[in-house]
Each structure stands twice: as C-alpha cells, then as structure tokens.
Chains A and B, each alone.
Chain A
Amino acid sequence: MLDYGFTLSGINLPGGGDPMGLWEVQLAPALSFAATAETAAPPTWRVQLPASPLEAAALLQAQAQAHALAWQDLARVESELAQLARPESISFSVADPLAVEKSVLLAAVDRLPASTVSYAILRGADPEEQETVRQWDAFVAEMRRIVTHYAHIHTTIAGSDVGLTNVSWAGDFATHWVTGVQRTAMPLHIQSVQMALDSRLALLRVASVVAAGAVGLAVKAVVPGAQVLLLPAVWRFVRDVLQELRRSWPALQNLAGHT
C-alpha cells in the first residue's frame, strides 16, 4: 500500500473511476438498506504525502502538472466532439489515435431509430450498451452528490493528520488544523485544497462537455430526443478518449499512481 497518493472517497464514480485520471477513487462499501443519501459518507479528497518535505513538494508539483494536462485533454475532447457534430460526413484514418472511440460513438448515433416516432429498437439490448447507460446514470447520480454536498479535503503527512478543509457548495471554507501542526506543513494542505477543488470543477466540466456534446451530435440523429439518448454514448466517448490521451502523458504519472 502506497504511503502517499491522491484518493477520492464517498463518491462512486463508475467505469474506471475519475475520468480525469487525477484521483484514485475508493469505492464505498455497499450501502445498507437503511442508508440514505444523507447518511452516506460525503465526498472526501485525501492527499497523503510522504514524510520528506522535498518529496511531498515534488509530488504536489507532479500532480499540478497532471491537472494541467488533464484540462488540456478535456479541451481536446470538446474539440473532437464539435468536429464529429459537423453536418458534413466524417472520415478519419486508422492512424487517428482516437479512431476507435470515434467509430464507437458514431455507430451509437447511427443506431438511433431513423423513423419519425418509432422507438421500436430496444435500446440497451446490447449488454455493453446497457452497461454504458448504467454507468452514465451512476455518474449523474454521483455528480448530484458532488454538487449538493460539502467537499472535504484532508491532508496527511506520513500518515499523520495535517488539516481538513470543509467547503460548502456555496463556497464557504472551514479549515481545521491539527493542534501542534508543523507550520511548514500548512502550505501543503492549501495546495491540496486547490487541487481538490480544481478536480471538483473538472468533474463538473466533464458533465458539461458530455451534455453539450450530446446536443451537438443530436442533429445527426434525426430523432426527437436524441440529445438525451446519446448522453451515455457521449459520456463513454469522453471517458475513453481521456483515458487514451493519458497514455501520452510523461512519466510524472507514476508518482501519483495514476491509471
């Protein structure tokens, strides 16, 4: 078990965890039947830093670089979706690193019924498609929790608590420092807070890109309601493309245990 890393708990992001690849998602145990959304654990971003200040600083810097790359990738995804939504026919070569993901997405668009009102095709009959829809549903449900719950950002150094910041969805901050915390550790927690909130914004942005992408592609579907029916497929595209793009990240990824 790593003694350092960036983990996100209290949020069950489906399909491989954090689509931006920045946090390791710790899946919550199955809720008891008595658990409700209110009693489930709130979203908590945990930053576990090594004891060495130099290593801790380096880790945080690597994570910051990863954040920057992830945002660039998201912008790229958005651009690709806009391209795909263009009314002219799309062609891409097999050399295109995103050829597979694009094909899958366009095939999902094509599969939507062409007749005016018939939803006669049983959508979701394909197990993989069913799974995609389920994951999209789960993603939306978790995004709702992110929006409506506090964010907790918790920092430890060598397993010892440093600080915990609670951020309300209205943006008020309440930071608790452990009594006797090293003064030099405090800025590290502030950086943790910055990264966690940046990731929270990134998740919102992912959802936004998916929603806009589905609307854009709907014009190709010629079916009422396509902008809704395409949401799972677009979400899958965004998730898969971000994952593909991460393959070209430099070696910094190993430090933070990114997938």
Chain B
Amino acid sequence: MGISNVGFDFPEPQAEQEIIDVFQGDLVFNGVNGVTGQYGLKPMPVEELAARIEGRPAAEKYAEQRALEEAQPAFRDAPLTLRQKDALLENMTPERLTALRGLQETQATQFVNLLGRSRAYDQLWETFARVYEGMDGLWFQQHGDRLSAMFNEAIDVSKQTLFAEMDSAQKALLETIIKEVWDTYEAEKRQNELGEKTSYALRSYPLTEKVTDPTELDKTGWGIIFPAAWPEQRQQQVEAALNELIERRRGQAGPLFRIYKGPDGYRPEETKSRFLQRHRVGSGSANPREMPFYLLLVGSPEEIPFEFQYQLDVMRGVGRIDFGDDYAAYARYARNVVLAETGNVKLPRQAAFFGTANPGDKATQMSAQYLIPPLLDNLRQPEAILGVEFEPGWDFVAFVGQGQATHERLRQVLGGDPVQTPALLLTASHGMEFPKGDPKQLLYQGALLCQDWPGPNGQLERRHYFAAEDLAPDANLLGMIVVLFACYGAGTPRLDQFASPNFKTPQPIADKGFIAALPNELLKRGALAVLGHVERAWGYSFLKPTGDVDNQHFISALRHLLKGSPVGWATDPGFNLRYADMSSELSVYLEKRQQNSSAVNDYDLTQVWTANNDARGYVVIGDPAAYIPLSKADETPAARPDLGERPVTPAMLSDGQAVFSEGGRPTAEMVAVDFSLRDQFSSLTGSIKTFTDQLAAALGEAARDIMTLDVETYSTGNLVAAAQGRPQDAMLRAYTHIDFDGDMKVYVPENLEGAVDQDVWAIHMETVREAQANRAKSIQAMAELATNLLKNLKP
C-alpha cells in the first residue's frame, strides 16, 4: 500500500489570515466558459456577491412593511407566518404596494385566504389522513386525488371571485404574490425538516430502526420512481430494459420493494412533501415500511426536477439514471449492477485521486491543497474514524498538479489502461460551462478541465478538457464509483441557482435541465455510480467561510465507499447531513435578519446562503444501492469481465407488432396518458401486487418457520380471551415441537393421578397430524397463488 504524491509540492500550512485572504479574494469556484475561455462568473469580493443576491437594501423593505400594515389591517392580522409576510413584502415595488392598498375589504380577505392556501391544504390532508387511516393505501390515494382535485377547484373559484373586478395587470400581480407566498411556505417546511434531520444524527439515523448492514435491502428497502406522465409504452420499455436490476432488487428487498409509476409516480410540479403526503409517508427519518430508504429516480431533470431529488435525498439515499431513449443503455446499466453484485466482479483495493492545480488559478490551487491531501491523510488510516472502519490493504495513488493531472492521464485512469483504472476515483478540477443554446452545452457542460489548461491567462482549447467522447473506445469501468468535484459535473438545471439579483426570477442557463454527458457515459461503460455536483460548485464544498478546512463529508463518504457501503448510504450522513445543518443555520440567519435588519450582515448571510446552495447540489447519478464490488480478503482480485453488448428488443404486443418505430421513439399512434383510465389499471395491478408482496413475505416467513412446527394444547375457562391471545387461566396440557429433521420434543398431559391422560394425548396427537398436513398444503397453496399472480403482473 502506498500513496504516491507525484508532481505537486504541498506548501507549508499558511497562517489563518493568509488562508482567509486567499479565500476572500476568490469566493467562487466557477466553471470555465468554453466559448470565451474565461471564468463563467469572475471571482469577486463577497460584498459584491452579497449585493447581487440580496438586491434591495433591507431598510427599505421594513419601512414599507410598516406602511402596508398601517394601510391594511387585514394583512396585519392575516394568519400568515413571519416568513410569508416577509415574502409578501420582500419585493415590494410601488406597483405592488398600490395594488394591495387598492383592495377593498372583501377582496383583501379573499386575498389573505388564498395566501394561506398551502397551510390549509396541509391541514386538510392531516384531517383526511386521520379520518381515512383505516383505508387501504390505494383507496386512500384515489380519494386523496379527488380531495386534491376538489381543493384546487375551490381555489380556482376563489381566485375567479377575487379577480372578477380586476384588470389583467392587477390579476397577474396578485397571482404572482400568491405563488411567492406558497413557495415560501414550502421552503419553510423544508427548513423544518432539515432542522429535524440534524437532531436525528445520533439516533438510529438515517432510518427509523438501526441498520447494521446497509446492503441488506430487506431492512432498508429499495424503490424506483418513474415520471407519472410517461406514456404507457415508454414505461413498459424502460421497465423491460431495467428488468434485471428491478427483479434483483425485488428479491433483495422483499416486502420493502416499491415501484412508483403511473399515478403513483412523480407527477409534474409535485413537491417532495406532496409526493410523500400522497403516499402517506411521514417526515423525518426514513421508515422503509412507508417508503424505501434507497430510491432510484428514472428520468430527466425536466421530468423529475433536481429540486425533488435534493429534498428527497435529505432523509433517504437517492440516485438517478437518465439515458433518454437509449434503452440499450438502461439494460446495460442494469446488467452491470447485477454483474457487480453477483460475484462476477472482484476489484482490487485501488483508489485514485486526480486534482488539477492550474497556473494562476486559485480555485484549483485550493482544491489541490485543501481537498485532496487531507483526504489522503485520513484514508491512510483504515481503523475507525468518524465511526467508519474499512479493510486495510488499499493502494492510493494521487495525480495532482503539473505533469500529472493531465488529459491523457485521466483517459488512462478512466479505462484507457486497465492497470491504472481503480475501483474508486475522485477528481477535483474546474468544470466546463457553455451558454444557453450553444450546441456544445449538452455535450461538454461539466467536462473536466485538466492540467493541460494554462490558466486564465492562457488560451483554452478543446484538448484541455475531458468529455464523454474522450473515453477510450474499449474503456471498461465495471464496478467503479466516481466522485467528481467540478462545476456542472453531475448536471445543469434549467434555471440559474445563483447570482440572480433578487433570487426570485432566476434566469435560464440551459434550454432544459440535463444530466451531464460524462457521468452518463461513465455509467454506460460500467461505472456503477457517480457522485457529482449540479450547477456551480464552490470552494465552500471543502472550506468554511472562516477559512477552515471542512471536509468531513468527503471523508465520511469516501470511507464508506472504501468499506463497501452503497453510495446512497455513503452520502448520508456526510453530504446530506451537512446540507441539513447548513439549511438550519441559514434559516436562523434569515429569521434574525427579519426581526432586526442589523443583526446579521450581508457578508455572513451571503456566505451561509451560498454554502447552503452548494451543499445541496451533490447528487448521485446511478443506483443508490450500488457499491464497489471489492475482492474479499481471501480472494484474488480479477480483471474486469467484458461488458459485452446487451441487445434490447422492443416490447412486442400480443399481435406481434413492435411498439416502437425506428429509432426507438414512440409512434404517432400512441395515445396520450389518461390518469383516470390508468388509475383503474394501476388499481388492479396495485392490489394484486400488494397481495403478491404479502404472499411472498408470508412464504418467506414460512420458509424460516418451516424448520419447526409447534402444537400446543391448553385448557381454559375463557375461550373469548383465548381468541385474543393467551388467557391468564390457560393451562398448557400438551406440547409438541417438531424440528425439520424430524426430532421431536413432546410434553405429555398428566391426569390428576399423575398418569398420562390418554384422551387428551390422543386428541393432541390428532391435532399434531392435522397441523403437519395443513402446513404443507397451505404453503403449497400460497406458493401456487403467488406464482399465478406473478404471471398477471408480468408485462
């Protein structure tokens, strides 16, 4: 084992002030623009960034609030939270003030009622849940859908009443304000949950019951979430392609396996809390019986937003795959995960670190100095740190800085040279950025800018950054997990998450949100998962605003990965808990500031706010239950098996017609989704699916219990109590315990004279014979039923 520090001399630790100076002078860790060759967002003093983010000075806002409250008592007494009122007034332009002051009393009342809609909706759901808690889950959801529809209809009617006498400009303005308040309420709920998460850290975290082995999916559960809006054919096609993985997970998770598709899937514009509500899942630590811990999202960020992934990931291990219409890629990925977990892949304990330190570029100088070396120092110690211990014998190699972290080196490490291709790879570099609408954006955004780039004072060329197409044609990454620290390394959202003046009208930075091409290609080449960043990554990822190194989340995650933990588990508690912690801190700052504008300065608030947004951006691309398939201690590591090609045939209809035309795209004849019709189909499927799950569970338990058979005979004066359990006066008269191998323990009944009570004994033995016969027949009947029901569920 060894660590090769090649090509980079780590300077002596700097004085604290020097670190702060370096940090302050280069607040951002930006992407580099592929068109201009310059930073996507130039480094700037924190005051400038604060001004961009905060917008209007705080003092004005509070003066206007007082004016509004004096003018409109309805608002002063409105049942809104402090945050909602602040959201109402935060962007108080003269036009808004005039519009609100112009409302008549009844209009003001209607307006205030509409502002409280989100809260009222939640209260209605809570009441609904209490009333219908005895109902079957599917019926609950169907009734819930009707409840939602009725509620939304009532809201529409209220709005029409409010807007009846208004012109279009006024209407639009009030609609905007209402939406802002609703969005703020949702944000509040998120903050509360994130605060709750930090308090769970020392309990059975992150699940409601302690799990010692996170690969035991029958304890953690595993689920897959599809977009509800997918046409049936696409759903079937992708599911068929992923069938190998789905079936494996189903077998592993047993009753804790879930598929969320059709009406159960993610619905457009649904928030995380609505999704959980709809599925009757409480907030807080993950209860796998309510919803699995590991959840795989399938679909693009336009179909299932990044925002949903971030929030769901707080309490669970969430990953995503999106191969678009490439069904072969879905199938290949499924095959690779299964291959990795079924003993076909035995990787040697090798981990590589790739970090650029581009000349004149402080961002990469920082990561080369403050991210990679501390990580290496820590990982050299396999004994328990942060509660994570892993097998010794790891070989670490670091390619950092000049002459090492080159484009060619990365190509070799990513499958170009099998000898150099490790089980775990971490990279730290700039990520490439392109303007919206640029044809290069989808191909190259998030590509890794290598040491070959001469820095901001030099010329940028295509050969300087490593993109998906730069992988060697025969690159085999089977079993690898990759951690990318780079802007846009995992993906790009459609809207800018930073640097918008009032943070209320983010500008589009892409035509649509997308997963970066490089992690997708890595998965197609056998990597099991990629942990990367959506949007810009900041220096805050590993440095606190004070300048102290803050890398516990990286350490925790990497130690877990080296231990063989699933990637969705490895990011908890490091990355997810960190985000939760920062959000709690941010909410405290914001609330203090609302109460007293001078209590918190722009500098502090901006740092915390930026760090928070940076922390949430880390996502897993891939199955969150995937883990590195390491060779066991007594095994010899093996070369990666060939990936091979897995042809995917289109789904065939029973009349022999192929579902898709050439190119694998749905044909024009496909009918649009109709939720009411699909509801019925899904309802039928769902009920037998639940039945099959329960049969499987019962058979599983029976298989364990089949090892023994217990027959007890009691006498009692209270049969009513006997129906509910064991009456207190019950006297055990005879007992037979039969082991699977036929060994029998028998306790015979005695009469009052101390002799064997022959009558009771005879009856008891009759019961034993009946029990033996019944068990076999019962298990056979359940198995036959389960088999037949599974045939119904087969597409």
Within 8 A of A (CB), among B657-710: 657, 659, 669-671, 674, 676-678, 680-681, 683-685, 687-688, 690-691, 694-695, 697-698, 701-702, 705-706, 709-710
A254 interfacial contact with B, CB 8 Å: no
- Interface-forming stretch among A100-108, A114-122, A236-244? A114-122
- In the complex, the answer to whether B714 meets A224 with C-beta atoms within 8 Å is no
Docked pose: A210 CA to B76 CA in angstroms: 63
- In the complex, the answer to whether B774 meets A197 with C-beta atoms within 8 Å is yes
Given A176-B714, A176-B730; A36-B698 close (CB under 8 Å): no
Closest to A152 in B: B723
A77 interfacial contact with B, CB 8 Å: no
A29 interfacial contact with B, CB 8 Å: no
B715 interfacial contact with A, CB 8 Å: yes
Docked pose: A152 CA to B730 CA in angstroms: 17
Given A141-B687, A190-B770; A223-B680 close (CB under 8 Å): no
Instruction: Tell me the minimal C-beta distance from A202 to chain B in angstroms.
Output: 9
- In the complex, the answer to whether B770 meets A224 with C-beta atoms within 8 Å is no
B792 interfacial contact with A, CB 8 Å: yes
Given A116-B657, A224-B795; A177-B713 close (CB under 8 Å): yes
Q: How many residues of B contact A (CB 8 A)?
A: 78
A140 interfacial contact with B, CB 8 Å: yes
- In the complex, the answer to whether B722 meets A166 with C-beta atoms within 8 Å is yes
- In the complex, the answer to whether B788 meets A215 with C-beta atoms within 8 Å is yes
A137 interfacial contact with B, CB 8 Å: yes
Most buried by B among A42, A173, A215: A173
- In the complex, the answer to whether B774 meets A228 with C-beta atoms within 8 Å is no
A83 interfacial contact with B, CB 8 Å: no
- Interface membership of chain B positions 744-786, coded 1 if the CB is closer than 8 angstroms to chain A and 0 otherwise: 0000000000000001000100111011001101110110110
Residues of A within 8 A of B236 (CB): 224
Residues of B within 8 A of A223 (CB): 654
Most buried by B among A42, A136, A211: A211
- In the complex, the answer to whether B694 meets A228 with C-beta atoms within 8 Å is no
Instruction: Tell me the minimal C-beta distance from B135 to chain A in angstroms.
Output: 9
Residues of B within 8 A of A147 (CB): 691, 694-695, 698, 782
Docked pose: A32 CA to B779 CA in angstroms: 33
B655 interfacial contact with A, CB 8 Å: yes
Instruction: Tell me the minimal C-beta distance from B264 to chain A in angstroms.
Output: 15
Closest to A35 in B: B134
- In the complex, the answer to whether A170 meets B702 with C-beta atoms within 8 Å is yes
- In the complex, the answer to whether A123 meets B677 with C-beta atoms within 8 Å is yes
Residues of B within 8 A of A141 (CB): 136, 687
B653 interfacial contact with A, CB 8 Å: yes
Closest to B658 in A: A116
A36's contact among B134, B685, B784, by CB below 8 Å, is which?
B134
Residues of B within 8 A of A44 (CB): 723
A85 interfacial contact with B, CB 8 Å: no
Docked pose: A215 CA to B792 CA in angstroms: 6
A127 interfacial contact with B, CB 8 Å: no
- Interface membership of chain B positions 708-728, coded 1 if the CB is closer than 8 angstroms to chain A and 0 otherwise: 011111111101001100010
Closest to B702 in A: A170
B89 interfacial contact with A, CB 8 Å: no
Residues of A within 8 A of B767 (CB): 165, 173, 175, 190, 193
- In the complex, the answer to whether B134 meets A224 with C-beta atoms within 8 Å is no
Docked pose: A204 CA to B782 CA in angstroms: 7
- In the complex, the answer to whether B774 meets A167 with C-beta atoms within 8 Å is yes
Q: How many residues of A contact B (CB 8 A)?
A: 77
Residues of B within 8 A of A221 (CB): 654
- In the complex, the answer to whether A117 meets B670 with C-beta atoms within 8 Å is yes
A208's contact among B134, B136, B788, by CB below 8 Å, is which?
B788
Most buried by A among B233, B678, B766: B766
- In the complex, the answer to whether B785 meets A207 with C-beta atoms within 8 Å is yes
Most buried by B among A116, A161, A194, A201: A116
Within 8 A of B (CB), among A199-244: 200-201, 204-205, 207-208, 211-212, 214-215, 218-219, 221-229, 231-232
Within 8 A of B (CB), among A114-171: 115-120, 122-124, 133, 136-137, 140-141, 143-144, 147-148, 152, 154, 161, 163-167, 169-171
Residues of B within 8 A of A95 (CB): none
- Interface-forming stretch among A20-28, A49-57, A64-72, A179-187? A179-187
- In the complex, the answer to whether B680 meets A172 with C-beta atoms within 8 Å is no
Given A36-B134, A164-B722, A169-B698; A174-B763 close (CB under 8 Å): no
Closest to A147 in B: B698
Residues of A within 8 A of B719 (CB): 154, 161, 163-164, 176, 178
- In the complex, the answer to whether B771 meets A172 with C-beta atoms within 8 Å is yes
- In the complex, the answer to whether B687 meets A137 with C-beta atoms within 8 Å is yes
Docked pose: A207 CA to B783 CA in angstroms: 12
Closest to A150 in B: B723
- In the complex, the answer to whether A170 meets B701 with C-beta atoms within 8 Å is yes
B216 interfacial contact with A, CB 8 Å: no
A58 interfacial contact with B, CB 8 Å: no
- In the complex, the answer to whether B791 meets A227 with C-beta atoms within 8 Å is yes
Docked pose: A223 CA to B232 CA in angstroms: 12
Residues of A within 8 A of B705 (CB): 170-172
Residues of A within 8 A of B688 (CB): 140, 211, 228, 231
Instruction: Tell me the minimal C-beta distance from A221 to chain B in angstroms.
Output: 7
Closest to B785 in A: A208
B419 interfacial contact with A, CB 8 Å: no
- In the complex, the answer to whether B232 meets A224 with C-beta atoms within 8 Å is yes
Given A179-B716, A223-B654; A208-B784 close (CB under 8 Å): yes
- In the complex, the answer to whether B691 meets A143 with C-beta atoms within 8 Å is yes
Instruction: Tell me the minimal C-beta distance from A192 to chain B in angstroms.
Output: 11
- In the complex, the answer to whether A201 meets B777 with C-beta atoms within 8 Å is yes
- In the complex, the answer to whether B709 meets A172 with C-beta atoms within 8 Å is yes
- In the complex, the answer to whether B698 meets A229 with C-beta atoms within 8 Å is no
A116's contact among B653, B770, B782, by CB below 8 Å, is which?
B653
Docked pose: A190 CA to B791 CA in angstroms: 37
Instruction: Tell me the minimal C-beta distance from B749 to chain A in angstroms.
Output: 11
A228's contact among B681, B709, B712, B778, by CB below 8 Å, is which?
B681
Residues of B within 8 A of A164 (CB): 719, 722-723
B58 interfacial contact with A, CB 8 Å: no
Residues of A within 8 A of B792 (CB): 211, 214-215, 227-228, 231
A34 interfacial contact with B, CB 8 Å: yes
B147 interfacial contact with A, CB 8 Å: no
B177 interfacial contact with A, CB 8 Å: no
- In the complex, the answer to whether B723 meets A154 with C-beta atoms within 8 Å is yes
Docked pose: A135 CA to B671 CA in angstroms: 29
Closest to A213 in B: B788
Given A116-B669, A117-B232, A215-B788; A34-B136 close (CB under 8 Å): no
Closest to A36 in B: B134
Most buried by B among A115, A147, A205, A207: A147
Instruction: Tell me the minimal C-beta distance from A87 to chain B in angstroms.
Output: 11
- In the complex, the answer to whether A176 meets B777 with C-beta atoms within 8 Å is no
- In the complex, the answer to whether A190 meets B766 with C-beta atoms within 8 Å is yes
B684's contact among A32, A133, A177, by CB below 8 Å, is which?
A133
Q: A123-B677, A204-B784, A205-B785 are in contact. List 19 more A-B contacts (CB 8 A).
A: A33-B133, A116-B669, A117-B659, A136-B684, A141-B136, A144-B690, A147-B782, A152-B723, A171-B775, A173-B771, A175-B767, A177-B713, A177-B733, A197-B774, A211-B788, A212-B791, A221-B654, A227-B791, A228-B681
The 8 closest A-B pairs by CB, nearest first: A171-B775, A211-B788, A170-B705, A176-B722, A204-B781, A119-B677, A208-B785, A118-B671
Sampled A-B contacts (23; CB under 8 Å): A34-B133, A36-B133, A37-B134, A44-B723, A115-B669, A117-B671, A124-B680, A143-B691, A152-B723, A154-B719, A161-B719, A164-B719, A171-B778, A176-B714, A178-B715, A181-B715, A183-B759, A193-B770, A201-B778, A224-B232, A227-B792, A231-B684, A231-B688
Which B residues contact A (CB, under 8 angstroms)?
Answer: 130-134, 136, 231-233, 236, 651, 653-655, 657, 659, 669-671, 674, 676-678, 680-681, 683-685, 687-688, 690-691, 694-695, 697-698, 701-702, 705-706, 709-717, 719, 722-723, 727, 730, 733, 759, 763, 766-768, 770-771, 774-775, 777-779, 781-782, 784-785, 788-789, 791-795
